[in-house]
Amino acid sequence: MVTRVVVQRSPALRARRWARSNLFSNAWNALLTLVTLALIGFVAFVLVRFIFIEADWSVVRENRRLIFLGRFPQEHEARIWPPIWLFALLAGGSMGLWGRVNARGAAAIVVSVVLVFALLAHGANGARLGVAVVLAGGAYLLAERGLRGEAAQVRARRAAIAGWALLLPFAVVVLVAFGGAQTSRLGGFLLNILLATVAIEAALPLGVLLALGRASSLPVVRVVTTAYIETVRGAPLIAWLFVAWFVLPDVLPPVFNLDRIDLVLRAMVMLSLFTGAYIAEIVRGGLQSVAPGQVEAAKAVGLGGFDITARIVVPQALRAVIPALVSQLISLWKDTTLVSILGLTDGLGGSEAAVSQREFFGRQREVLLFAAGVFWVVAYAMSRLSLRLERSLGVGER
């Protein structure tokens, strides 16, 4: 045992020592510190001056509907709230069940809630946002404090997982079904969210099947799946989106009007097919990481081929690649902006449409920074979540 002697020093002295060892340990380091300080100062000055003085944020405020919902019909706008409420409920509950919220996390949440209110709480939306906040907070408190005993915990976790699985179908049904909006009218950040979630949920099973095919011992299956994966990964997404735009309707069978599906659905189909190939490569890595002993043990207890794959190999492979899957989701989330090149009014397309109006001419900086900020917040939150998952799963620690 090493005993550490802790000497209390005055904060000023501690700060000076810290600065000396971290910033000014030698001449080169001091120079580096000064140059970096100058750079940071310059960037901060330009940014602060722009954000608080030069920028005219009215372009974002006036066009928030266009940026968040695109050309989503006004009469159906109320339909977006039930999915948001369910999301708030699940997010609050999950945080209470799985996570611990530290001070920084809590501060980030409070700041984002305030920002969202400042931007979107007008008219009835204020009350609706309030409902979402109350639901999230209530679910958090209930999950954190209200559950007595292991059994209740387990039941609540199962319910939460089921809820997350049902969120997307629920959202799609509420938005589109029963005389709702046409899919072609989906837009804004709502479209980006839907594209990313639909594509990841459709691509996951496709990717697992492709990965199994590529790892198969059957040559025909292996060649076909490998060809698919490599062809899709070989060309850029925008080229595939052009294919979806110009070629897909001509090769889809004319049943259920499949050959006349609108651009939004075509983008969804193509994003799913595209992401499937990337997920296949991720899952392939996971399959290789499953110890051969697992398969042998499963054979020894008499499981058949299908059961070995579905119950032993794939679950362990997926567990090992969860962080990589989240990275794929992040890159998919960023890539959904490409649909704006097809002329769809997603978050980016809506932002560009906003500055094409005469009164907001030349306000590109404001809308683009705002759109970039929204994408960044979601992507950064996901990457933090992925780090946390990585730690709690203990991947790479066995």
Q: State the Cα–Cα distance between residues 292 and 312, nearest whole angstrom.
A: 11
d(CA 309, CA 314): 6
For other proteins, give the closer residue by CB, 93 or 347. Answer: 347
- Asked if residues 86 and 383 have their Cβ atoms less than 8 Å apart, the reply is no
Given the complex with other proteins, which of 121 and 368 has the nearer CB atom? 368
Out of 11, 123, 253, 292, the only residue in the binding site for other proteins (CB under 8 A) is 253
The piece of 83-91, 104-112, 113-121, 332-340 that touches other proteins (CB under 8 A) is 332-340
Residue in 116, 131, 159, 247 binding other proteins, rule: CB under 8 A: 247
- Minimal distance, residue 320 CB to other proteins, in Å: 18
State which residue, 171 or 366, has the beta carbon closest to other proteins.
366
Site string for other proteins, 67-106 (x = CB under 8 A): ----------------------------------------
Residue placing its CB nearer to other proteins in the complex, 170 or 245:
245
In the range 367-396, which residues lie near other proteins by CB under 8 A? 368-369, 371-372, 375-376, 379-380, 383
How far apart, in whole angstroms, are the C-alpha atoms of residue 67 and residue 330? 20
In order, the DSSP letters of 239-258 are HHHHHHHHTHHHHS-SSTTG
The CA distance from 194 to 271, in Å, is 11
Q: Does 39 bind other proteins (CB under 8 A)?
A: yes
Q: Does 154 bind other proteins (CB under 8 A)?
A: no
Token code pair at residue 315: 């679950």
Q: Give just the sign of the alpha carbon dihedral 140, 145, 150, 156.
A: negative
DSSP percent split of the chain into helix, strand, coil, nearest 5: 80, 0, 20
Q: Is 335 in the site for other proteins (CB under 8 A)?
A: yes
Contacts with 367 (C-beta within 8 Å, 6 or more apart), sequence order: 59, 60, 63, 67, 351, 352, 354, 355, 360
Give strand pairing partners of 346.
188
Give the x/- contact pattern for other proteins in 182-221, rule: CB under 8 A. -----------------------------------xxxxx
Whether the CB-CB separation of 359 and 61 falls below 8 Å is answered with: no
Q: Which residues bind other proteins (CB under 8 A)?
A: 22-23, 25, 28-29, 32-33, 36-37, 39-40, 217-221, 224, 231, 234-239, 242-243, 246-247, 250-251, 253, 330, 334-335, 337-338, 340-341, 348, 352, 364-365, 368-369, 371-372, 375-376, 379-380, 383
